Structure 1
Amino acid sequence: MKFSSIVYIAATLSMIPFPKPSIRYLIAAAAQAAVFTCALVHAEEDKISFNDDIRPILNENCTACHGGVKMAGDISLIYRHLALGKGKSGKTVIVPGSPDKSELMRRISTNDTDDLMPPPEHGPRLDQKQVDLIRKWIEQGAEWQVHWAFEAPKAQELPTNKLKWGHNRVDAFTLSQMEKHGLEPSPRATPAELLRRLSFDLTGLPPTIAELDAFEKANAENPKAAWEAEVDRLLASPAYGERWASVWMDLARYADSEGLGADRKRDVWPYRDWLIRAYNSDMPYDQFTIKQLAGDLLEKPSYDDRIATVFHRLSQANEEGGTDDEEFRVGAVIDRVNTTWEVWQGQTFGCIQCHSHPYDTIEHDEFYKFSAFFNNDQDNDVSNHQPTLRVPNDHKQYSDANQKLVAYETARNDYHAYGHKAISGASWQGTKNTSVTSTRTKSKVVKNGDIEEIHTVGNVVRGTHFNVTWPAADTNRIDAVRVTLMPKNPKKAASSPENGAVLSYAELHVTGSDGKVQKIPFTHIIPDSTESSSDPDQTLSKKANGWGPFSKIFHDRWAVLVPEKPVILEPGSKVTLHMEHNVFYNASFVMVPHRLKVEFSSDPRWDAWRAAALPAKKKYRENYGTYLRVRGPAIPVMAQRDPTLARNTHVFDRGNWLEKGELIKKADTPAAFPKLKPRGNQPDRLDMARWMASPENPLTARVEVNRFWQQLFGRGIVETLEDFGSSGMNPTHPKLLDDLAVRFQTELKWSRKALLREIVLSETYQQSARTDAAKRAKDPDNLWLSYSPRRRLRAEAVRDMGLATSGLLARNLYGHPTYPPIPPGVWKPFQGGDKWNTPKIGDPQRYRRALYTYWKRSIPYPALMSFDTPTREVCSKRRLVSNTPVAALTTLNDAAYAEFAQGLARRMKYEHEGTLEEKIAYGYRIVTSQRPSPDVLKELVSSFKEMEKTYAANPGQMKGMAGSADGAAYTILASLLLNLDATLTK
């Protein structure tokens, strides 16, 4: 009997009024109390759980028609207030406590096929057990529960188990589930098996024979201390960062090309290097999160902080001619929203782009509230990938480069702030009696109230020059000219932007009364914002592209042009602003304005400004030049738009970006989750990033813990890594997941090395993979982890294992992508012009780890694709392991693996002194970490001798291999060893 029951009996006895105790009376009272208590306990045990018992029934049978997408009959079984309300029929769907008054019960119980739910044509009716469960749930009050994953994880008490087994908290929780399902843990694996498993899991590389020997010796003396020492050694290895960075690269959709049609090369490898450093330095996961989502918005961001934001510049881009930049900019925003939720929240958030979530309480408009966090970033699918950051090739120079960048940005901002102060303080007047002439494109003057505007007529043509002329009637000087480029339809453009324009060059022409023309260049340009896809000062020179809203214009954009000194006008003279527009973008779009206006200022205060502006501009330009001399790639990074250039965010009707609906007033997170706590009135990406990484967020820690668990055990505690929603799988060990998630944030301080250390130190992780038929019958999928799962190596580890065991592996970290051997005929880029230049044999660049391989989305490296590496066009949450002949054909025939076999053959033949048997056993141990059994060794030796005999008799068959028969036999035997199951699994 439970302790609570005994307490209740004691309390009941204390309340019974009797003058004198009697044994018989006490027994009767105790029995009565016990019966009552057992009834309470039984009732408690029979309590129906909405999440465990009812929600799965509704999701499987009802929500397709009565969920978040369709609400047939105005009924939704996703939202409690709707489920307890009335449908279109006027009848209450669920009446808590009264199943007979609930229309739901009537519909699932009736024999009338016209009223039966689900209708016969939609599927089978609920079985009696399901009907009884729903009835009992309604009788008990129809208690609704929030989906388990949307509630914050709670600290857990350790379960009490029968068996005394385990090293730490992980083991207590796994053993509890084993015992619940009638299972017992397996013995500890052998030292060789353990070190192989650990080495591949932590570093992605096999252990060396020296490491195996050292561990076996230390293990014999003190197994616990030896194991802890190996764990710490491998966590400290530089290879650790490479192994785990490759996992994140799937999530980040990392690729060295931009994707889609052209799929041109795009320098982003410094981000891959940032990942490696972040893992090796054990950057806390909350900071790892914030830096990637909003590193650019941190106070005084470092170079590394800015590089981290490449995460969301890895969306695909489209440089094909004729495509609409805005379509693909919006596509990138949508990709960033989906990726953020998939990576950090494990949610199928993409569902709500077109409609409310079919299973979870996330509504359609909440997708667009969240998209507002990304809708006002500077990038806009342009070919130069702006905004970019110049990154030194040497990481040691990052600090110096950051100083140069900050100095440039500070000087630029100071100069522009000084200019904006003058602009706002000056008096301006529009041109009057304006005329316009233009080349190549027709134009006219249009009066808009008192304002005279210039409009183009018909199609615009690249190379158009405008001459806007007005008489100098009301002024005797001009100090500055303001050009405003405007959308043709401002109201529509605010939501659906028009093609932009670029002012390639401008100068002032003054025609005197004598007809002579004086051409006056401008020496200063002050744009409305420092945000630009090109250097604004290019407008002051005929040799460059110039300034402008490139490539789309949402609202008015202006720039002020200032000559070196005031332009003095004689009576009767005319002023002409000469403008050139020479940019032709994406082979389709001419960057010529359709509508503009010209204003000028005749304010003597500009004299003082000019005198002070010259040194400010000189400093700005010098610092800019210094920054441009940073040697290294210009990589795409995130940067937020100037608030004055903010875009509107709308709900898209059924996800169609051309059908704009409700205006989103401010960015926000879904109501089903903890409330966002912004720093100001307009939440930004940094607010969102901190929300993601906050302890209040119910999913961030759980999802990351689950991801690490899946990498170690082959299956997550929640098997559906990509779906923690109610349509995903429930956790097999919910208390373990919550315990690890809470402690990951608190005790472990978001340290992923500490989290990994705890898991791999557990007895659960150290179990043998050997099992028996009885265990497999009770637990066919090994859900309860009564033995260690055996799994094939990841694609990267297959290649890296070949490199390591052949002795070819280059250990240098970081740097430009590499181009290992690729099958002939594969590399045929449709566009882009990037070359696949494989380094010569012997060049270390040829033998670098797999994560450094150049990744082109349209032609992904075949040897890695054969082992389930995704194309990385979009975020990939988990790799589903396939088993096809293509994988075997790759390791048997690919040029790289042939080279690995030759390297392993050399190691067997020359590295180990001894008999043939000993050399072959040495090779077997190199690749499998095991010593071969006598039977296996006998088979291998026999195979070798047969091959040696064959090549001795047929030397012509040794083409491409060693020049001797035994050398060729070693090579073929090495290839055989590299293809063994024992080699390709851990």
Structure 2
Amino acid sequence: MASDGVQELQGGQDISMPSHFRSTLALLLIAPCCAIGGDPADRPWSLRPVVRPPIPVVNTHGWARNPIDAFVWQRLAAVRLAPSAAANHRTLVRRAWFDLLGLPPGHLLPDDDILAGPGRWAAQVDRLLANPHYGERWGRHWLDVARYADTKGYVFFEDRVFPWAWTYRDYVITAFNNDLPYNRFVVEQLAADQLDLDDQPQSRAAMGFLTLSPRFMNNLHDQIDDQIDVVTRGLMGLTVTCARCHDHKYDPIPQADYYSLYGVLRSSSEPMVPPELQRPSKSEAHRKFRAELDKRSQAIRAFIIKTHTDMLAASRKRAGEYLLQAQRTLAQPPTDNFMLLVEAGGLNPTVVLRWRVFLERLVTRTAVEEFRDPVWGPWLAMADLDEAEQTSFPEGISQLLKRLSRNDADQSPINTRILAALNSKPPQSLDEASIRYGRILNDIEAEWQSTRKAATDAEKPPPSRFQDPTREQLRLVFHAPDAPANVPRLFGWGALALLPDRPAQAVYKKLRKELEQWLIKGKGAPPRAMTLAENDTPYRPRIFERGNPNRLGEPVPRQLPGALSGPGRTPFRTGSGRLELARAIASPDNPLTARVIVNRVWLHHFGEGLVRTTSDFGTRGTPPTHPELLDFLAHWFVHDAGWSIKALHRLIMTSATYCQRSDHRPRAFSTDPENLLLWRMPRRRLAFEAMRDAQLMFADSLDNRFGGPAVTGMFTAGGVTTRRSIYGHIDRMNPPALLRTFDVPSPQASCGRRDETTVSPQALHMMNHGTLHELSRRLAIRTSGSPAQRIRLLFEIVYSRHPSPEESAAILKFLKGFDGEKPAAWTAVAHTLLMSNEAQFID
């Protein structure tokens, strides 16, 4: 290979292309596979097991430095291309600083050949990986995936701000700095509440990955949908949320799998009092803080328990009224809006809705299975009679009761107590029938409570059911796990479902506000983790037909999607199953997790991933440009590197592929215009945060303090805020215009790859914003000496190089236009350097 690296291979080896490719550059999209079979070869490429491919045996003419280069050379040689020559020392070091730290070197770098000493470059990479700014740079990349924000978006009663969002951000930065194994990083973010973290209480903050979800006007279903999305798309590149309303149209993800995951996440909730992020202090001040906290939390807990107990008693006592109201609403559009308000003493909309869903399931089962429910068969028949136009209710009730009394061989017999109550004096309307049902159910409830009390008084274990099937059928109306009147007790904002009247809501909101204010602002209040806690009873998921939570379909178990586990999967056994889910995602046997994270790391080094659709590894995404290299890196990452992100950086950055120059080469460009085969290092524009932080560093104004609460006004204030950009306050509902201008993604959803636009507001900001003028002034006053010396120092700070004679001459000519070299002239020079492409791009 020629020394300048541009001579292409003339007699290259005859290397056959992988079967994934139609041609050397265009990849053949793999046909959708909507069923998972036993043969891995029948699966889409991303769902096949990760198998370590052999390193290609190719003659790279001494170019290759590690296995990555062999895979890249193989693909280049197949189209008679050669890689570019190695970049010089200054270019490589500046590239590495921005890639790993998001900051410039800020001083002169020599242009000597970094490859002259084999160990020098690796040592430089190791020094940068040990720098604490590394976690800030790579933590910001992860926060895009985690859709991090400091506010909740649209809410009803809650405060808009997450008081402890910053603890998750700091956790992520620390995890990257400490090189926490990625599999452990995944498990902590999904199930830290179920791990033994007494020695690492700060890791409890990891669950912000789930709890920093947008609130969607307190719509629980949308919140869980967002959590499913960030778990499956963020960690595994699977678009599972496409199966919320129907089976996935392209990938092997049935709707049942979506609701299996829904059940896992619905089985946990955010505790009213989140855990502390430090070991409890034994000081008197902390004891007083805890005493007041216990007092306030007990007050709200007692209120909810009493309200829930009263509501259960009322919903059972008024079962007939709820039954009738639910029947009347069947023809109306459904709603799950628990914010509906009623007058004190009115029927609770949440209970009405549960009765409605219960009746809808009965109607569907009766129509589909020709099933007659022993308890509710008469009610459904009377409801049909009530709606009939040809026959009035009083006229038809006698014939209906005679028909119901016949024990047809192909129908279930009607409950004898129901029949007796209806036959004793036939009801003359559906209203009257509902009263009969309510009376029967409450009579059975009284018998049940009396039976249990008698057993307790006799010091015997209380029974769990009636032995008489007739009584047991009626008892289950109130006591089955999904009984309409058996509303679960909730302690979060979901408790408002128990409180449909304004006075009760006002009391609850007052108690919650007092508790939250003390948690945040009480004297001695410690930082807390935004975590989840297991519910007392795991949620039993059912499919929502067409995604409608008011139309419940078949029950499904809480389990891993079949695409990841195959036909032999078993339901999760422990609690919600969240810890089992986390471990399954972080398992070496998971075909997606390692591939996805390896691809994300590659993206942030090369500007594009080996898979361009970084959060979609399904059949609608793009297949990898280097499939064998991707699998080699994924397997090496798990089995050789022990899930170490820093080890992966080191392997990538010490490759000759990474060390290439970024020069344009016409012939290579004509063959591979998108640089899919990596014949050169792509030239990349700095992300907004790196650009802003570099400007602060150039001006000697960067505040290097680590962590802490978000800095408000960083992206909107007129003055200069000097903390690193990762510590700026992110308002989910109203992100600053500056961030939108420079392609910072919306925190409304997980983002694996930022858009990159070139629009006029970007240039206008660089030219006109007061912050840039102030930083330019500060940069200018860092220099001293003769004009030539000052120019030289400016170039060393901003570009890490000396100016060329032409550049120096142009600046000196410009300065002559200012009388006496006024400070404004030097500010203009510094401003010009900050605005230049060389300052905003990585070669």
Change (3 A) 1:143 1:684: closer
- Equivalent position of 1:227 in the other structure: 121
The answer to whether 1:353 aligns with 2:244 is yes
Instruction: Give the distance between the partners of 2:359 and 2:142, measured in 1 at CA.
Output: 35
- Equivalent position of 1:939 in the other structure: 810
- Equivalent position of 2:229 in the other structure: 338
Structure with the higher fraction of residues in helix conformation: 2
- Equivalent position of 2:131 in the other structure: 237
TM-score (norm 2): 0.69
The answer to whether 1:389 aligns with 2:286 is no
Q: Once the two structures are superposed, what CA deviation does each residue of 1:308-340 show, in whole Å capped at 9, x if it has no partner?
A: 111111111156xxxxx4xx1111111111111
- Equivalent position of 1:104 in the other structure: none
Deviation at 1:655, TM superposition (A): 2.1
CA contact (8 A) 1:250 1:876 kept: yes
Matches within 5 A, 1:378-777: 378-379=269-270, 386-389=271-274, 391=276, 446=317, 460-461=342-343, 487=351, 555-556=486-487, 590=502, 592=504, 630-634=524-528, 636-643=530-537, 646-671=538-563, 673=565, 680=573, 684-777=577-670
CA contact (8 A) 1:485 1:556 kept: no
Deviation at 1:628, TM superposition (A): 7.7
Identical pairs, percent = 30
Deviation at 1:657, TM superposition (A): 2.9
- Equivalent position of 2:429 in the other structure: none
The answer to whether 1:264 aligns with 2:120 is no
CA contact (8 A) 1:245 1:279 kept: yes
- Equivalent position of 1:878 in the other structure: 753
Structure with the higher fraction of residues in strand conformation: 1
Change (3 A) 1:854 1:684: same
Instruction: Give the distance between the partners of 1:486 and 1:355, measured in 2 at CA.
Output: 26
- Equivalent position of 1:809 in the other structure: 702
Change (3 A) 1:662 1:972: same
Q: Once the two structures are superposed, what CA deviation does each residue of 1:907-945 show, in whole Å capped at 9, x if it has no partner?
A: 13x3xx3x2122112212322223222222222222233
- Equivalent position of 1:985 in the other structure: 841
Instruction: Give the distance between the partners of 1:194 and 1:339, measured in 2 at CA.
Output: 34
- Equivalent position of 2:452 in the other structure: none
Instruction: Give the distance between the partners of 2:652 and 2:49, measured in 1 at CA.
Output: 22
Instruction: Give the distance between the partners of 2:282 and 2:173, measured in 1 at CA.
Output: 21
Q: CA RMSD in A?
A: 4.5
The answer to whether 1:198 aligns with 2:69 is no
Equivalent residue in structure 2 for 1:277, among 174, 177, 188: 174
- Equivalent position of 1:787 in the other structure: 680
Instruction: Give the distance between the partners of 2:352 and 2:545, measured in 1 at CA.
Output: 25
- Equivalent position of 2:142 in the other structure: 248
CA contact (8 A) 1:293 1:312 kept: yes
CA contact (8 A) 1:388 1:636 kept: no
Change (3 A) 1:490 1:794: closer
Equivalent residue in structure 2 for 1:867, among 733, 736, 742: 742
- Equivalent position of 2:254 in the other structure: 363
Instruction: Give the distance between the partners of 2:174 and 2:240, measured in 1 at CA.
Output: 30
- Equivalent position of 1:601 in the other structure: none
- Equivalent position of 1:111 in the other structure: none
Structure 2 residue identity aligned to 1:931:
H
- 3-state secondary structure, aligned to 1:661: strand
Deviation at 1:585, TM superposition (A): 9.2
Change (3 A) 1:58 1:927: closer
Matches within 5 A, 1:115-194: 145-164=42-61, 165-194=63-92
Change (3 A) 1:710 1:364: same
Deviation at 1:200, TM superposition (A): 0.2
Instruction: Give the distance between the partners of 2:655 and 2:596, measured in 1 at CA.
Output: 20
- Equivalent position of 1:603 in the other structure: none
Instruction: Give the distance between the partners of 1:444 and 1:786, measured in 2 at CA.
Output: 71
CA contact (8 A) 1:188 1:768 kept: yes
Structure 1 residue identity aligned to 2:646:
K
Deviation at 1:147, TM superposition (A): 0.9
Deviation at 1:306, TM superposition (A): 2.0
Change (3 A) 1:698 1:942: same
Alignment length, in residue pairs? Answer: 651
Instruction: Give the distance between the partners of 1:695 and 1:221, measured in 2 at CA.
Output: 35
CA contact (8 A) 2:149 2:212 kept: yes
CA contact (8 A) 2:40 2:48 kept: no
Instruction: Give the distance between the partners of 1:300 and 1:245, measured in 2 at CA.
Output: 22
| Residue ranges of structure 1 left out of the alignment (5+ in a row) | 1-41, 68-76, 82-141, 320-324, 380-385, 417-422, 424-430, 450-457, 466-483, 497-552, 560-582, 594-620, 824-835, 953-964
Instruction: Give the distance between the partners of 2:814 and 2:776, measured in 1 at CA.
Output: 16
Instruction: Give the distance between the partners of 1:669 and 1:495, measured in 2 at CA.
Output: 30
Instruction: Give the distance between the partners of 2:144 and 2:234, measured in 1 at CA.
Output: 10
Change (3 A) 1:448 1:778: closer
Change (3 A) 1:636 1:764: same
Q: Structure 1 runs of 4+ off > 6 angstroms?
A: 50-53, 56-60, 398-401, 493-496, 583-588, 624-629
Instruction: Give the distance between the partners of 2:753 and 2:814, measured in 1 at CA.
Output: 39
The answer to whether 1:289 aligns with 2:183 is no
Instruction: Give the distance between the partners of 2:595 and 2:104, measured in 1 at CA.
Output: 29
Change (3 A) 1:584 1:686: closer
Deviation at 1:715, TM superposition (A): 0.7
CA contact (8 A) 1:495 1:660 kept: no
Instruction: Give the distance between the partners of 1:400 and 1:816, measured in 2 at CA.
Output: 25
TM-score (norm 1): 0.59
Equivalent residue in structure 2 for 1:970, among 826, 829, 840: 826
- 3-state secondary structure, aligned to 1:763: coil
Deviation at 1:303, TM superposition (A): 2.4
Instruction: Give the distance between the partners of 1:195 and 1:862, measured in 2 at CA.
Output: 33
Instruction: Give the distance between the partners of 1:891 and 1:399, measured in 2 at CA.
Output: 49
- Equivalent position of 1:926 in the other structure: 797
- Equivalent position of 1:546 in the other structure: none
Change (3 A) 1:750 1:448: closer
Q: Which structure: larger Rg?
A: 1
| Residue ranges of structure 2 left out of the alignment (5+ in a row) | 1-13, 299-304, 321-339, 361-483, 506-514
CA contact (8 A) 2:225 2:262 kept: yes
Structure 2 residue identity aligned to 1:365:
A
- 3-state secondary structure, aligned to 1:305: helix
Change (3 A) 1:658 1:780: same
Change (3 A) 1:696 1:676: farther
Change (3 A) 1:364 1:753: same
Higher relative contact order (CA 8 A, sep 6+): 2
CA contact (8 A) 2:558 2:577 kept: no
Instruction: Give the distance between the partners of 2:559 and 2:569, measured in 1 at CA.
Output: 10
Q: Once the two structures are superposed, what CA deviation does each residue of 1:52-107 show, in whole Å capped at 9, x if it has no partner?
A: 79xx99979xx8xxx7xxxxxxxxx74599xxxxxxxxxxxxxxxxxxxxxxxxxx
Deviation at 1:187, TM superposition (A): 1.4
Instruction: Give the distance between the partners of 1:316 and 1:495, measured in 2 at CA.
Output: 33
Instruction: Give the distance between the partners of 2:19 and 2:616, measured in 1 at CA.
Output: 21
